[in-house]
């Protein structure tokens, strides 16, 4: 049976991975005591249920986990099961930000700051990280990208070196998307917001798109922007990137950025097999 151990830093996306694997047909259980690993795997194996495998989540929350995980893993592997250890990680500043946004208490908190708790956790998990089959850095992933990436790993589709590209529009009024790899500001383009008959429409509307795209300023911009992307994307893939997020912003994220993101996505789709176009702020008002 295929056994996947999900472990790693708190706030690194383990819960997202578990939900994705559960939807994929794996039996997932969180924070099972380490002494029960082998017994639980045997029970599921003998049950005859049509699961694709078992996912066990183990991390710093299970204090006793650190007293016997090596032995537990060895017993599972010795029983003939396929054992994979996926260690989820992220940059410290990203982990701090995620905890600041959720206001959750860090499980390694020993009456210290979040930053210090992260350092404590990283030290305690260092041995487990060294045992990992794969270390997954989620720093630049949003929830949807991480889910896709995990499924590609599980399905064995991540070996083709395909770069998944997301082109998204956004409004600077609502902040720059944190997962952005490349950010382009198109607030210099003619603004349909100030045209009464276009104000209530979006960049998906033909009239707004034509207003934004059919002018010499936009044409000159594309003459520089598209060749730049044509150079950058292969370079990012060469460096081993699995995902690249191109964020294109205007003031409100409804008119100019939407039209430009659509045009950019269509250009890239001619060259890359996996391009997705999204519009983060299109419904947030005029």
CA distances 54 to 20, 72, 212, Å, are: 13, 15, 51
CA dihedral 130, 81, 30, 73 (to 10 degrees): -40
Note whether residue 108 is domain-resident: yes
Q: How confident is the model at residue 286 (pLDDT cuts 50, 70, 90)?
A: low
Tell whether the model's pLDDT for residue 275 goes beyond 60: yes
Which residue, of 112, 138, 159, is where some domain finishes? 159
Together in a domain, 132 and 8: yes
Q: Hey, how many other C-beta atoms are within 10 angstroms of the C-beta on 259?
A: 27
Q: What residues contact 246, with CB distance under 8 A and at least 6 apart? A: 165, 166, 167, 168, 180, 181, 182, 184, 229, 264
Instruction: State pLDDT tens for residues 220-253.
Output: 999 999 999 999 999 888 776 778 899 999 999 9
Instruction: State pLDDT tens for residues 26-83.
Output: 999 988 887 888 888 888 888 877 788 999 988 877 666 666 778 888 888 888 888 9
| Number of domains forming the structure of the chain | 2
Instruction: State pLDDT tens for residues 140-195.
Output: 788 888 888 888 888 876 555 567 899 999 999 999 998 899 999 999 999 999 99
Together in a domain, 173 and 117: no
Residue 201 token pair:
């429409």
Together in a domain, 270 and 189: yes
Instruction: State pLDDT tens for residues 188-232.
Output: 999 999 999 999 999 999 999 999 999 999 999 999 999 999 999
CA atoms of 148 and 20, how far apart (whole Å): 8
Together in a domain, 37 and 134: yes
Residue 3 pairs in a beta bridge with 54, 83
Together in a domain, 120 and 15: yes
Together in a domain, 153 and 32: yes
Containing domain of residue 7, as a range?
2-159
Please report, for the domain that includes residue 8, its CATH number: 3.40.50.300
CA atoms of 8 and 143, how far apart (whole Å): 17
């Amino acid at each position: 049976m295929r056994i996947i151990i999900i472990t790693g830093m708190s706030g690194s996306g383990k819960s997202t991975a578990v939900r994705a694997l559960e939807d994929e047909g794996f039996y997932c259980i969180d924070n099972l005591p380490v002494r029960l690993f082998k017994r639980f795997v045997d029970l599921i194996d003998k049950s005859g249920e049509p699961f694709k495998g078992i996912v066990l989540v183990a991390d710093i929350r299970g204090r006793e986990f650190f007293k016997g995980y090596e032995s537990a893993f060895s017993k599972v592997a010795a029983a003939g099961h396929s054992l994979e250890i996926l260690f989820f990680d992220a940059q410290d500043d990203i982990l701090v930000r995620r905890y600041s946004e959720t206001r959750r208490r860090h499980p390694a908190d020993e009456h210290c700051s979040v930053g210090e708790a992260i350092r404590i956790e990283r030290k305690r998990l260092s041995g487990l990280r060294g045992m990992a089959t794969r270390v997954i850095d989620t720093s630049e992933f949003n929830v949807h990208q991480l889910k896709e990436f995990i499924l590609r790993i599980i399905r064995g589709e991540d070996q083709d070196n395909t770069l998944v590209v997301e082109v998204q529009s956004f409004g600077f009024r609502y902040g720059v998307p944190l997962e952005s790899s490349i950010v382009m500001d198109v607030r210099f383009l003619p603004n349909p917001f100030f045209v009464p008959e276009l104000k209530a429409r979006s960049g998906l509307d033909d009239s707004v798109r034509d207003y934004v795209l059919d002018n010499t300023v936009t044409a000159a911009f594309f003459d520089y922007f598209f060749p730049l992307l044509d150079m950058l994307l292969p370079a990012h893939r060469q460096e081993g990137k699995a995902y690249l997020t191109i964020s294109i912003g205007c003031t409100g994220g409804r008119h100019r950025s939407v039209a430009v993101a659509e045009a950019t996505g269509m250009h890239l789709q001619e060259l890359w097999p996996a391009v997705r176009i999204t519009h983060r702020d299109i419904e947030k008002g005029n």
